[in-house]
Amino acid sequence: MPEMNFPGFILSLHTSALFQFGDIADPISKKKERNLPAVKQTIDILDMMKKKTSGNLDDDEEKLLDGILYELRMRYVKESRK
């Protein structure tokens, strides 16, 4: 398994959110299930990471985190209106 770094950790949280949105099927049940409270929690974790790492990220890491937060927040708003 490759060594974990900050971008890899952020991308793993992004993948978790996609699973929680129901985009990715559970590997065991093969079902796609939407869990918006879990998505909200993942967004909150990413937001906390952004605040706690402020001033300590390089430009690429900051852009990655900002982009993922924007994408997930916009999607969450859209999905919560359904």
DSSP structure string for the chain: -PPP-HHHHHHHHHHHHHHHHTSS--TTT------HHHHHHHHHHHHHHHHHTTTSS-HHHHHHHHHHHHHHHHHHHHHHT-
End-to-end, the C-alpha distance of the chain in Å comes to: 38
Angle at 17 between CA 29 and CA 39, to 5 degrees: 100
Tokens, residue 22: 């129901």
Record the pTM: 0.92
Average pLDDT of 26-53? 96
Is the pLDDT score of 3 beyond 90? Answer: no
Average pLDDT, the chain: 96
Average pLDDT value for residue range 33-60: 98
| Domain limits, the chain | 6-80
**pLDDT tens digits for range 49-74:** 999 999 999 999 999 999 999 999 99
